[in-house]
Amino acid sequence: MGYVAIKKAESDSILLPRARWCEGFLCKLRGLTFRRRLGMDDALVLVQTVDSQTTTSIHMMFVFCPIAAIWINSAGEVIECRLAKPFRPYYSARAPARYVLEGPPALLDAFRPGDRVRFEPIAP
Protein backbone atom coordinates (compact mmCIF):
# COMPACT_ATOMS: atom_id res chain seq x y z
CA MET A 1 0.00 0.00 0.00
CA GLY A 2 1.34 3.44 -0.87
CA TYR A 3 -1.40 5.79 0.34
CA VAL A 4 -4.58 5.40 2.35
CA ALA A 5 -7.67 7.39 3.19
CA ILE A 6 -8.74 7.17 6.82
CA LYS A 7 -12.46 6.84 7.36
CA LYS A 8 -14.76 6.52 10.35
CA ALA A 9 -15.71 2.85 10.52
CA GLU A 10 -19.37 3.46 11.39
CA SER A 11 -20.29 6.28 9.00
CA ASP A 12 -17.73 5.89 6.20
CA SER A 13 -17.03 9.63 6.49
CA ILE A 14 -13.52 10.68 5.54
CA LEU A 15 -11.37 11.88 8.44
CA LEU A 16 -8.22 12.23 6.34
CA PRO A 17 -8.32 11.93 2.54
CA ARG A 18 -4.68 10.92 2.08
CA ALA A 19 -1.82 9.61 4.22
CA ARG A 20 1.35 7.77 3.26
CA TRP A 21 1.44 4.15 4.47
CA CYS A 22 4.88 3.51 6.05
CA GLU A 23 5.72 -0.13 6.71
CA GLY A 24 9.41 -0.08 5.86
CA PHE A 25 12.15 0.54 8.40
CA LEU A 26 13.60 3.60 6.65
CA CYS A 27 10.21 5.21 6.10
CA LYS A 28 9.36 4.78 9.79
CA LEU A 29 12.81 5.91 10.92
CA ARG A 30 12.65 9.12 8.91
CA GLY A 31 9.02 9.86 9.73
CA LEU A 32 8.61 13.63 9.62
CA THR A 33 12.17 14.54 10.63
CA PHE A 34 13.63 17.73 9.17
CA ARG A 35 10.17 19.08 8.31
CA ARG A 36 9.59 22.73 9.14
CA ARG A 37 5.85 22.83 8.33
CA LEU A 38 3.15 20.38 7.33
CA GLY A 39 0.21 20.56 4.96
CA MET A 40 -2.82 18.28 5.22
CA ASP A 41 -1.24 15.97 2.60
CA ASP A 42 1.85 15.51 4.78
CA ALA A 43 0.48 12.74 6.97
CA LEU A 44 2.07 9.33 7.60
CA VAL A 45 0.73 6.09 9.04
CA LEU A 46 3.61 4.27 10.75
CA VAL A 47 2.72 0.57 10.69
CA GLN A 48 3.96 -2.08 13.13
CA THR A 49 3.30 -5.83 12.91
CA VAL A 50 1.51 -6.11 16.28
CA ASP A 51 -0.01 -3.88 18.95
CA SER A 52 2.73 -2.55 21.24
CA GLN A 53 3.55 0.47 23.35
CA THR A 54 7.28 0.14 22.76
CA THR A 55 7.39 -0.15 18.97
CA THR A 56 4.85 2.63 18.46
CA SER A 57 6.71 5.17 20.57
CA ILE A 58 7.97 8.17 18.60
CA HIS A 59 10.66 10.82 18.99
CA MET A 60 10.60 14.41 17.83
CA MET A 61 14.33 14.93 17.38
CA PHE A 62 14.96 17.12 14.33
CA VAL A 63 11.26 17.68 13.75
CA PHE A 64 10.99 21.46 13.66
CA CYS A 65 7.23 21.88 14.05
CA PRO A 66 4.55 20.39 16.31
CA ILE A 67 2.61 17.44 14.91
CA ALA A 68 -0.49 15.46 15.73
CA ALA A 69 0.32 11.93 16.93
CA ILE A 70 -2.65 9.55 16.91
CA TRP A 71 -2.26 5.96 18.09
CA ILE A 72 -4.64 3.33 16.66
CA ASN A 73 -4.79 -0.34 17.65
CA SER A 74 -5.19 -3.32 15.32
CA ALA A 75 -8.98 -3.28 15.89
CA GLY A 76 -9.10 0.24 14.40
CA GLU A 77 -9.78 1.96 17.71
CA VAL A 78 -8.14 5.32 18.36
CA ILE A 79 -6.19 4.84 21.60
CA GLU A 80 -4.70 8.26 22.16
CA CYS A 81 -4.31 11.67 20.47
CA ARG A 82 -1.52 14.06 21.42
CA LEU A 83 0.22 17.17 20.22
CA ALA A 84 3.89 16.20 19.89
CA LYS A 85 6.27 19.13 20.30
CA PRO A 86 9.61 19.61 18.51
CA PHE A 87 12.78 18.09 19.92
CA ARG A 88 11.09 15.99 22.60
CA PRO A 89 12.80 12.62 23.02
CA TYR A 90 9.83 10.34 23.59
CA TYR A 91 6.07 10.01 23.13
CA SER A 92 4.13 6.82 23.69
CA ALA A 93 0.49 5.81 23.96
CA ARG A 94 -0.87 4.68 27.33
CA ALA A 95 -2.05 1.41 25.77
CA PRO A 96 -0.69 -0.82 22.98
CA ALA A 97 -1.27 0.35 19.40
CA ARG A 98 -0.31 -0.91 15.96
CA TYR A 99 -0.45 2.32 13.98
CA VAL A 100 0.76 5.86 14.61
CA LEU A 101 -0.78 8.56 12.46
CA GLU A 102 1.53 11.58 12.26
CA GLY A 103 0.45 14.80 10.60
CA PRO A 104 -0.45 18.44 11.00
CA PRO A 105 -1.86 19.52 14.38
CA ALA A 106 -5.29 20.18 12.80
CA LEU A 107 -5.81 16.39 12.72
CA LEU A 108 -6.43 16.51 16.46
CA ASP A 109 -9.81 18.11 15.70
CA ALA A 110 -10.94 15.07 13.65
CA PHE A 111 -9.90 12.17 15.90
CA ARG A 112 -10.99 11.23 19.42
CA PRO A 113 -10.01 8.30 21.65
CA GLY A 114 -12.60 5.56 21.20
CA ASP A 115 -13.31 6.42 17.55
CA ARG A 116 -13.25 3.44 15.21
CA VAL A 117 -11.42 3.98 11.94
CA ARG A 118 -10.45 2.02 8.87
CA PHE A 119 -7.74 2.45 6.27
CA GLU A 120 -8.75 2.39 2.60
CA PRO A 121 -6.03 2.14 -0.07
CA ILE A 122 -6.05 4.95 -2.66
CA ALA A 123 -4.07 5.73 -5.80
CA PRO A 124 -0.96 7.88 -5.28
pLDDT of residue 35: 82
Q: How confident is the model at residue 12, as a pLDDT?
A: 86
Mean pLDDT for the stretch of residues 92-110? 96
**Radius of gyration for the alpha carbons in the chain, expressed in angstroms and rounded:** 13
- pLDDT digits 0-9 by tens, 21-54: 999 998 888 888 878 888 877 899 999 999 999 9
| Separation CA 16–CA 107 (nearest Å) | 8
Residue 1 pLDDT class (50, 70, 90 cuts) = low
Judge residue 35's burial from the number of C-beta atoms within 10 Å of its C-beta, 0-12 exposed, 13-18 middle, 19 or more buried. Answer: middle
- Rounded to whole angstroms, the Cα distance separating 17 from 124 reads 11
**pTM of this structure:** 0.93
Task: Choose from 1-5, 25-29, 80-84 the range with maximum mean pLDDT.
Answer: 80-84
Tell me whether strands 14-22 and 44-52 are parallel, antiparallel or unpaired. parallel
Checking phi first, is residue 30 left (phi over 0); if not, alpha (psi -120 to 50) or beta?
Answer: alpha
- pLDDT higher than threshold 80 for residue 124: no
The answer to whether the CB of 116 falls within 8 A of the CB of 49 is: no
**pLDDT for residue 122:** 93
Range of weakest confidence among 2-11, 30-39, 73-82: 30-39
Residue (of 59, 90, 97) closest to 76 by Cα position: 97
Which domains does the chain carry? 3-122 (2.60.120.1140)
Q: CB-based contacts of 66: which residues, under 8 Å, 6+ apart?
A: 83, 84, 85, 86, 105
pLDDT at position 41 is 78
Tell me if 50 sits within 8 A of 98, measured CB to CB: yes
